[in-house]
Chains A and B, each alone.
Chain A
Amino acid sequence: MSQEGIIQGEFFMNGDEACAEGAISAGCRFFAGYPITPATEVAERMSRRLPEVGGTYIQMEDEIASMNAILGASWAGAKAMTSTSGPGFSLMMENLGLGVMLETPCVVVDVQRAGPSTGLPTSVGQGDIMQARWGSHGTYEIIALVPSSPQEMFDLTITAFNLSEKYRVPVLIMSDEVVGHMSEKVVLRAVPPEELVERPRPSVPPEKYLPYQTDGSLVPPMALAGEGYRFHVTGLTHDERGYPAMNAAAQDRLVRRLVDKIRLNRSDIIRYEEAWIDDAEVVVCAYGITSRVARHAVHMARSEGIRAGLLRLITVWPFPEEHVRQLARRTQAFVVPEINYGQIVFEVERCACGQARTALLPHMGGGVHHPEAILEAIREALR
Chain B
Amino acid sequence: MENFAIYVPRLLPQEENLAPGHRACIGCGEVLAVRLVCKALGRRVIVSNATGCMEIVSSPYPTTSWRVPWMHTLFENTAATASGMEAGLKALNRKGKKAITAKVVAMAGDGGTSDIGLQALSGALERGHNFLFVCYDNEAYMNTGIQRSSATPFGASTTTSPAGKLSIGQTSRKKDLTAIVVAHRIPYVATACPSYPFDLINKVEKAAAIQGPAYLQVLSPCPTGWRHPSDLAVRMGRLAVETGVFPLYEVENGKYKLNLDLPKLRPVMDYLKPQGRFRHLPAEEVERIQEQVTADYEELKKKAGVGA
Residues of A within 8 A of B (CB): 33-37, 40, 43-44, 47-48, 51-52, 57, 59, 61-62, 87, 91, 117-118
Contacts and interface: CB of A to CB of B under 8 A. Distances in A.
Interface of B: 51, 72, 74-76, 111, 115-116, 118, 141, 144-145, 147-148, 150, 159-162, 164, 166-167
B147 A44 contact: yes
A286 B308 CA distance: 73
A37 B144 contact: yes
A87 B51 CA distance: 11
24 contacts: A34-B115, A35-B111, A35-B144, A40-B147, A40-B159, A43-B160, A47-B160, A47-B162, A48-B162, A52-B166, A57-B160, A59-B148, A59-B160, A61-B118, A61-B150, A62-B75, A62-B76, A62-B115, A62-B116, A87-B74, A91-B76, A117-B74, A118-B51, A118-B72
A61 B151 CA distance: 11
B104 to A, nearest CB: 21
Contacts of B162: 47-48
B166 A59 contact: no
A372 B159 CA distance: 40
Contacts of A44: 145, 147, 159-160
Contacts of B164: 48
A83 to B, nearest CB: 12
A118 B144 CA distance: 13
Given A47-B161, A47-B162, A59 B75 contact: no
Contact of A36 (B144, B159, B166): B144
Nearest to A62: B116
A59 B116 contact: no
A65 to B, nearest CB: 9
B167 A40 contact: no
B207 to A, nearest CB: 26
Contact of B145 (A34, A40, A117): A40
B183 to A, nearest CB: 18
- Secondary structure of the B contact surface, majority rule: loop
A61 B110 CA distance: 11
Contacts, number: 50
A51 B165 CA distance: 10
B167 A35 contact: no
B147 A59 contact: yes
A43 B147 contact: yes
Q: Which 8 residue pairs of A and B lie closest in terms of their CB atoms, listed nearest first?
A: A62-B116, A35-B147, A61-B115, A35-B144, A47-B160, A51-B166, A35-B141, A44-B159
A87 B77 CA distance: 12
A87 B167 contact: no
Contacts of A48: 162, 164
A36 B52 CA distance: 10
Contacts of B116: 34, 61-62
B47 to A, nearest CB: 16
Contacts of B148: 59
Nearest to A33: B160
A118 B71 CA distance: 13
Contacts of A33: 160
**Which of B147, B148, B166 gathers the greatest number of chain A CB atoms within 10 Å?**
B147
Contacts of B160: 33, 35, 43-44, 47, 57, 59
A248 B167 CA distance: 52
A381 B206 CA distance: 67
Contacts of A37: 144
A40 B142 CA distance: 12
Contacts of A40: 144-145, 147, 159
Nearest to B117: A62
A220 B150 CA distance: 39
A117 B144 CA distance: 17
A44 B162 CA distance: 9
A57 B166 CA distance: 12
Contacts of B144: 35-37, 40
B74 A118 contact: yes
Nearest to B170: A59
A36 B145 CA distance: 10
B115 A47 contact: no
Contacts of A35: 111, 141, 144-145, 147, 160
A52 B166 CA distance: 8
A36 B147 CA distance: 10
A43 B149 CA distance: 13
A47 B159 contact: yes
Contacts of A118: 51, 72, 74
Contacts of B161: 47, 59
Among A51, A61, A62, A91, residue most surrounded by chain B Cβ atoms (within 10 Å): A61
B134 to A, nearest CB: 20
A44 B72 CA distance: 27
Contacts of A117: 74
B91 to A, nearest CB: 26
